[in-house]
Chain A
Amino acid sequence: DAKTTQPTSMDCAEGRAANLPCNHSTISGNEYVYWYRQIHSQGPQYIIHGLKNNETNEMASLIITEDRKSSTLILPHATLRDTAVYYCIVRVEGGNNRKLIWGLGTSLAVNP
C-alpha cells in the first residue's frame, strides 16, 4: 500500500472551510483514497473515499488531483465538533491481508 504524508496539525476558524491535504505520490492505479477521523477517546469514523473523481457527501468533499498524487479533504463549514485527528489512507479494494495502514494523521483544531 502506498505511503501517505499529512501535516501534523492545522487550525481552522469556526464556520470557515477546513482544507486538509494528503500526499500519496506512490499511489497505484487501483488504490482508493480513504479519510477517517477520530475524535478524542472515541473510535475512528469513516468520512469519505474516492478513486479518481472528486466526491462529496453530507460530511465532506474529497478533491483528488488529476495525477492522483495528492488529495484534499474539505469540511465546508467547520464546527467545534469537527476538532479531531484526520487520517488519510490509501488501499486497494479488499486485498488478502485486510490491513489499513494508520499513520499519525492531522490534528485539526477548530477555534471559536
Chain B
Amino acid sequence: DGGITQSPKYLFRKEGQNVTLSCEQNLNHDAMYWYRQDPGQGLRLIYYSQIVNDFQKGDIAEGYSVSREKKESFPLTVTSAQKNPTAFYLCASSISGTFSRGIKNIQYFGAGTRLSVL
C-alpha cells in the first residue's frame, strides 16, 4: 500500500539525549514536512523539504535538525537543545512539480510519533 510510515509510534527521551524520528514515504512525492502538535493545539511546522538534499526551517526549527538524502526519507532529530520536546510529531508529504488546481497543497500524513521525556 502507498503511504507514509512513521516510527516509532512512542518514544522516550532522557535528559541530554538526541533522538531521531523516522519518516518514510512510497508515494513518490517530492515535498516532505515535519509538524509538531501540542495538546489541544493546531499543527506547527518544524522543517520542510521540497526536493532531495534541500530543506528549509519552518516556524519552530530551534532544537531540531533534519536531513533529506533520499526522496523517500526525511528523518527528524530532536536534539538536547530542545528543552520541551514532549509532543505529537507528524510527518507529511505532498506532490510537487507543475500541477495546478490546488493539488500541490494536499498533504498526506503519517500516523505520528508521540515523544515523551523521562
Residues of A within 8 A of B (CB): 32, 34, 36, 41-46, 49-51, 87, 89, 91, 93-94, 97-100, 102-105
Contacts and interface: CB of A to CB of B under 8 A. Distances in A.
Mostly, the A contact residues are loop
Contact of B108 (A46, A94, A103): A46
Interface of B: 4, 31, 33, 35, 40-45, 48, 50, 56, 58-59, 88, 90, 92, 94, 100-102, 104-112, 114
A43 B110 CA distance: 6
Given A32-B102, A44-B107, 12 more contacts: A41-B114, A42-B111, A45-B109, A49-B106, A50-B102, A89-B105, A93-B100, A94-B104, A97-B56, A98-B94, A99-B45, A100-B45
B48 A105 contact: no
B32 to A, nearest CB: 10
Mostly, the B contact residues are strand
Contacts, number: 67
Contacts of A103: 42
Question: 3 shortest A-B CB distances, which residue pairs?
Answer: A43-B109, A102-B42, A32-B102
Contacts of A41: 88, 112, 114
B90 A43 contact: yes
A102 to B, nearest CB: 4
Nearest to B6: A43
